[in-house]
Amino acid sequence: MEQKSYIHDNFLLNSDLAQKLFHTYAADLPIIDYHNHLDAKDIWQDTQHANLSEAWLHSDHYVWRAMRSNGINEHFITGNAPDNDKFAQWCESMPYLLGNPLYQWSHLELKRFFNCDLLLNPDNCKEIWQQCNAQLEQGRNSTREVLKSLKVKTLCTTDSPLSHLQYHAALAESDFDVQVLPTFRADELFVFNNSRALNELIDRLHTLTTIPATTFKNFVTAIEARIENFHRLGCRLSDLGLTTVDFAACNEQEAERLFFKALQDESLTEHEVTQLKTRLFIELGRCYHKYDWSMQVHIGVLVNVNERRKQALGGGTGFSVINDRLIAENLAQLLSALDEQEALPNTVLYNLNPNHNAILSCMAGAFQDSDGSAGKIQFGAAWWFNDHKDGMEAQLTTLKNLGALGRFVGMLTDSRNVFSFSRHEYFRRVLCNLLAKWVEEGEIPHDETLLKQTIENICYKNAERYFNFNQIA
């Protein structure tokens, strides 16, 4: 009996109904990827990977963690080993990652982009390397080609508030069919505990906006000038990573006093820093609401926990973990402060700690509006350490139980690798399989029209409506 390829037409689809739902309603939908870390410069230049190591291993901290778990020397991970040697070490690791999403994603990418059915292991390493690299050398699978082949309609990069966005401007004026929009990632604005960083930020804001941001009011005005610039180039999304969720009330006068104190390099207490951060969060939320943007909040990373490795390799190299700090009370106060002013924008809440699934799902329900803004507050897609079949199913199940699953804005890649856009297919397979399971268990009706509507909305139409990308000139 001929062995079936690992990645086949019905991969992850465990029933006839699941297969029908995916192939009939999900597979051919366009993609809106509203949160990723692709570089607009690579899209503009239509960057082509030189080899599989460059595509998979050069910047993916998921991969780096996995290789370390297999005892691979750092020389072959973030070091300067030749790319073919790095790939060989990745192939050595792969058999021990059986069931890991990296195992599934990597083989899905081999199949979709290189029509390669070989399993990643030491025996197949050389053949995979040669077969895939030969296609890359022929000019196949450039950044734009991949995006077009997957029918990506819109993608949103993640950008510094200080970015000049020149490549977004160039793409907007080009004939490239995919809509490439910036996202305003606000993390670096929250530097009130570091006087030097704050003054450098103010200097850069002044250079970009000509606004001397030496008062808190002017600081916010300068930031809004950057938001206006992002808006002109099609930005309709912000993002913020909250390693901890804190809240401390801070009025206008207190914000000015504390901001001046921070500029003078006077030490702020932890409470005072929280006051300024709270005030800035609220001011930013009001701006996002004014410009009809959506606000994304990523919650729960404990960053760079291995100090020795951070000192050797730098931050963001695969040593961050899930945080278990409490979030509910302070998050409720942040959202409520904006809601009281009728200035709470569309908001997508993501948690890294899976124990917070129910908290965020019911928190979203507490701040919905009855003004026709369906699904205004979203419990966001399974993120980072939850970005796998089990995590996706847990997020979808929680949303089914506590929210409005049919209003969910769906999947995103959160990735720096263009090949990872195949994860939309992965998510769609998981979704269709789960819906079919619920049908077969009698939890939801076997109603073809209802299932079709739910799948099309979650995979594409809800995001299209929610973010209003069609209204961008």
Q: What is the DSSP string of 100-118?
A: SHHHHHHHHHHHHHH----
Encode pLDDT of 268-277 as tens digits.
Answer: 999 999 999 9
> Is pLDDT of 241 > 80?
yes
Which domain, by its residues, includes 66?
Answer: 50-137
Closest CA to 49 of 135, 126, 130: 135
Please tell me the total count of domains within the chain: 1
- Beta bridge partners of residue 184, listed in sequence order: 159, 238
Q: Please compute the mean of the pLDDT values over residues 110-134 and round it to a whole number.
A: 98
**Average pLDDT of the chain, as a whole number:** 97
241 found inside a domain: no
pLDDT at res. 152: 98
Closest CA to 249 of 341, 344, 337: 337
CB 183 within 8 A of CB 237: yes
CB 356 within 8 A of CB 330: no
- Token pair of 75 as six digits: 């020389």
pLDDT at res. 356: 98
- Token pair of 154 as six digits: 């819109």
334 found inside a domain: no
> Is pLDDT of 181 > 90?
yes
111 found inside a domain: yes
Closest CA to 244 of 210, 170, 193: 193
Q: Please compute the mean of the pLDDT values over residues 407-435 and round it to a whole number.
A: 97
Please give the C-alpha separations between residue 117 and each of 106, 114, 126, 135, 375, in angstroms, as whole numbers: 11, 9, 14, 15, 40
Q: Please compute the mean of the pLDDT values over residues 178-188 and round it to a whole number.
A: 98
The CATH number of the domain where 111 resides is what? 1.10.2020.10
- Beta bridge partners of residue 33, listed in sequence order: 155
56 found inside a domain: yes
Q: Please compute the mean of the pLDDT values over residues 27-54 and round it to a whole number.
A: 97
> Is pLDDT of 58 > 70?
yes
Instruction: Please state whether the predicted TM-score (pTM) of the whole model is above 0.85.
Output: yes
239 found inside a domain: no
Q: DSSP letter at 368?
A: -
208 found inside a domain: no
> Is pLDDT of 95 > 90?
yes
Encode pLDDT of 325-362 as tens digits.
Answer: 999 999 999 999 999 999 999 999 999 999 999 999 99
User: Kind of pairing, strands 31-33 and 152-156?
Assistant: parallel
- Give the position of tokens 């993916």: 60
- Compute how many other C-beta atoms are within 10 angstroms of the C-beta atom of residue 402: 18
- Give the position of tokens 């990872």: 420
Q: Please compute the mean of the pLDDT values over residues 241-262 and round it to a whole number.
A: 97
Q: Please compute the mean of the pLDDT values over residues 33-44 and round it to a whole number.
A: 98
pLDDT at res. 3: 62
CB 422 within 8 A of CB 105: yes
C-alpha torsion sign, points 236, 241, 244, 248: negative
Share of the chain above pLDDT 90, in %: 96
- Give the position of tokens 């530097």: 191
| Neighbouring C-alpha atoms within 13 Å toward the C-beta of 447 | 7
Closest CA to 141 of 45, 32, 49: 49
Please give the C-alpha separations between residue 433 and each of 88, 99, 111, 310, 447, in angstroms, as whole numbers: 34, 17, 20, 40, 15
395 found inside a domain: no
- Token pair of 314 as six digits: 């730098």
What type of residue is 25?
Y
Please give the C-alpha separations between residue 223 and each of 190, 216, 295, in angstroms, as whole numbers: 12, 11, 15
pLDDT at res. 265: 87
pLDDT at res. 1: 43
Encode pLDDT of 364-386 as tens digits.
Answer: 999 999 777 899 999 999 999 99
82 found inside a domain: yes
**Which three-class secondary structure state does DSSP give residue 430?**
helix
Distance (Å, rounded) from C-alpha 247 to C-alpha 256? 18
Beta strands in 163-245 (DSSP E): 179-181, 184-185, 237-242
